Structure 1
């Protein structure tokens, strides 16, 4: 009896000492995205973020990053990879799966954003109110937009009429609708396919922000760049999310959940947007150095473009109403939050 009691006590003591060891176990987070490892997103956002959560968790949380779709699949499949646990965290565009995340599309309407930083903070606050249902299968860590988007191509775009007869790539459903309304033939494709498509003549041009263009060497295949009057809102932007597998997050001990939470949300989203904004001048310089041709579309010409944007916004509201969303409230809230954070 005494021997059994002693053995039980020893086992109990071992369990007590084992508990801290189990809690201190290193957790590796599989982080997947579609950019190359040289991209701004990888170098200036993901690597510092991973270093920060490692430091704040005493190295109990670490990242294994898989750039350029190294876990397999295609960019439109990333969000499902997060939901299914193929990856623990992904960074992608909800718009790559057209129609699946309609609540955040409003930020992709023409002439909404003035800067990536302010719009990204607005987007996080907006998503907390209107996007919970759409993203219920994952745990969003950030929502953000990229720096102001412009038109780039093999021929100059000075007026809306110049779009006629061109095949133009766009990243999302609403940017494709915008280009079609301008008179172009829109071609939907993820970013990694754009360089080859330009090289082979599949497309005549594309809409993109400056940040990503040198990363995929598009400035080497593009002669003309049409920027919009800087006093006007951006022609377009696109919505991104960094999202985590819910089961993975829920499996973390409370103190590690707090580390993730402290490095998620409005401030993280705005920080990503700021990185994009600050990257634009240096990225643009690559095209300047090649001797590419630039023009600025003035506000007088953009007035007719903005009418197209107003029409698309009204159509979007009606479409959302038909799907059971409060379309006008969503549009008004997005505009209000962008204005509020742009001051």
Structure 2
């Protein structure tokens, strides 16, 4: 099972992006540094074609640098992809964007031929904050929940640099269920579209396996179960997520944990590596191939049944024609006898 969320305005945004992509010199794709692959939109990669992309791994202060370096190495060497750790709160990072963009589009950048950049990304990765930081004023609404931006805005950064903002869009179907839960854990999916407890359990399973010390330190645990449900119950107990009678409110406990994960209170982390994503993609392709094979098998099995039905219909039709002919002959004979 995976988490899915695709509001109507996102379909409209997809069409708008497709229409303006021919006018864009570079895409500035804002990613969540904690999920560098899951926060990419494969639909955007399809739409941009050969248009170069500057990938800003935003919220770098919340990310595990050692794992982030694996992604920078993974993308290094590509002629159409440039990636950098980034923070909209770091003025030095914001100041380097013009340099990075010029590096990717050296043939433009004058007042006559300004660089036309599209800012894109999935919900809640920091696109609006980036626009405000680039322009030095509040021109885009910023929110702590996904899908705050709903329409495109075209603005001038300098005489040689223009930006076009787009609404944050997820894709219609997230095929990798693991990726969909990572998106939910980090807050890219609106909370009304998820089950808090399910998502928290997925997040806890990850932290138990990959960042156990940080988890134990945050919640002052001397020992810890390998069962995420038990750990969530302990967290709820320690953080006062209780109902009458002292029973732990698991939904409230999940809210507490996910808030700590999203704000970085547990510590920096990255939930995926290039090697892990390659493995998951193979599993997704194998599952799709298996599903298609099963579909083809059902179609093949249905052919004889359809043929049998067709044969029965043909025989019934022939029988009916014979009966009709016999009835007509009998009628003619009766008519002749009367005459």
TM bucket normalised to smaller = under 0.3
Report the structure number with the largest CA radius of gyration.
Answer: 2
Q: Higher relative contact order by CA 8 Å / sep ≥ 6: 1 or 2? A: 1
TM-score scaled by structure 1?
Answer: 0.27
**Structure with the higher strand share, 1 or 2:** 1
